Amino acid sequence: MSDNKTYQGNTASTFQLISDQAIALLEKGIVSSQQSWNPYGLPRNISSSYVYSEWNAVFLNSITLTNKYKTPLFLTFKQATEMGGHIRRGEKGYPVAFWQKIDNKYRSVGAAGEIDTVYNRSRMICTTYWVFNIDQTENIAFDMPIPARQKTISEKNESCQRLLDGMTNCPPIRQGTDMTAYVPSLDFIKIRDIDTFESTDHYYSHLFHVLAFSTGHHSRLNRKDLTDNEDFKQPVTAKEALTAEIVTAMLCAITGIVLHPAANISNDPGYWRTHIKEDKSLILKASSQARAAVDYILSAKPYDHSSTSDQPSGVATAS
């Protein structure tokens, strides 16, 4: 496939593509739960100002830091042309996944061969398009963004607390326990005293991690992987674990705190390589769950694949 064209693949091929990219980054040690965010904030599309989310945000942030791009600003080949510039020869693009609603018309034929009824049936497909960092382009004029001001500890703590206070149906948080965990059978969070952590960033990172699991409770988003295992007699599924990892990363980015990974097996790159190879849909399905969880925590409108996607303007869509 040429890197200067929008990729139009089916859902299975998209799962394969994203999984291959994730495994390649893991094997190079590029994607890490301890990785920081670019000082210019979350990756976004420079043409549409669209802010990428969930896996796309984590992936493009990793690409930005690894390749030492100045900013996390991306655009498609077509958008570069529309902005009066072009992608430099030999540059490689990066895949960004999105869900798209497809409407198909079906006909019901009667006994005499006449068309009895015509009806529509919608389905969701996952596909990708390719983006390039602005550093890979030439002759494009743009305003250099201003790096985010480093928040004070007090400001970061206030931001984290506002997030918790604003969450609808937030589970009770019991402090002063000997460990940090979410207890789904009783629907509460337990966490050590804040002064037992290395920093307040460390404390809120762990709190956000268990808060992510709580969104799967039947009184919230009712995620089957969590509700079917409320007593935690079985290990947490890889999809549920990855959902929590992505949610934690996004909440840390939103509140401006440094991400400190929870001490569990999901921080082992080998764990993720194994599960991603076994289930090609893992990343994007967990990413979809993570987006719904972040929206719930922020009390935002629930994510609707049919109305919102990680697709900026200027990208061709399948018909």
Q: Token pair 């049936």 is at which residue?
A: 121
What's the pLDDT at 110? 60
Range of the domain at 185: 153-297
131 and 158 co-located in one domain: no
Distance of alpha carbon 130 from alpha carbon 163, whole angstroms? 33
**Inside any domain, residue 250:** yes
90 and 180 co-located in one domain: no
Listed residue (192, 166, 133) closest to 251, CA to CA? 166
Which band of pLDDT confidence, cut at 50, 70 and 90, is reported for residue 311? very low
Number of structural domains in the chain: 2
Q: At what angle do helices 238-255 and 54-66 cross, to 10 degrees?
A: 70
**Inside any domain, residue 2:** no
Residues 7-45 have pLDDT tens digits of 445 778 888 888 888 887 776 665 554 556 788 888 999
**Inside any domain, residue 317:** no
Other CB atoms within 10 A of residue 304 CB = 12
162 and 131 co-located in one domain: no
What's the pLDDT at 3? 42
208 and 97 co-located in one domain: no
**Across 56-70, 121-135, 250-264, least confident range:** 250-264
**Inside any domain, residue 229:** yes
What's the pLDDT at 108? 62
Phi first, then psi: give them for residue 218, nearest 5 degrees: -65, -20
68 and 113 co-located in one domain: yes
177 and 274 co-located in one domain: yes
111 and 161 co-located in one domain: no
**Inside any domain, residue 307:** no
Residues 218-274 have pLDDT tens digits of 999 999 999 998 877 788 899 999 999 889 988 988 898 888 766 555 567 788 889
Domain boundary among 73, 103, 138: 138
Strand 188-191 vs strand 173-175: parallel, antiparallel, or unpaired? parallel
117 and 43 co-located in one domain: yes
Q: Which amino acid is at 195?
A: D
**Across 183-192, 270-279, 304-313, least confident range:** 304-313
**Across 66-75, 104-113, 216-225, least confident range:** 104-113
**Inside any domain, residue 304:** no
Domain boundary among 115, 138, 161: 138
Domain boundary among 81, 115, 138: 138
What's the pLDDT at 116? 59
52 and 157 co-located in one domain: no
What's the pLDDT at 4? 39
Which band of pLDDT confidence, cut at 50, 70 and 90, is reported for residue 298? very high
pTM: 0.77
129 and 245 co-located in one domain: no
Give the CA-trace dihedral at 149, 155, 160, 166, to 10 degrees.
-110
**Inside any domain, residue 313:** no
193 and 273 co-located in one domain: yes
Q: Which tops the pLDDT comparison, 158 or 303?
A: 158
**Inside any domain, residue 157:** yes
The DSSP element (H or E) to which 126 belongs, if any, is: strand 115-133
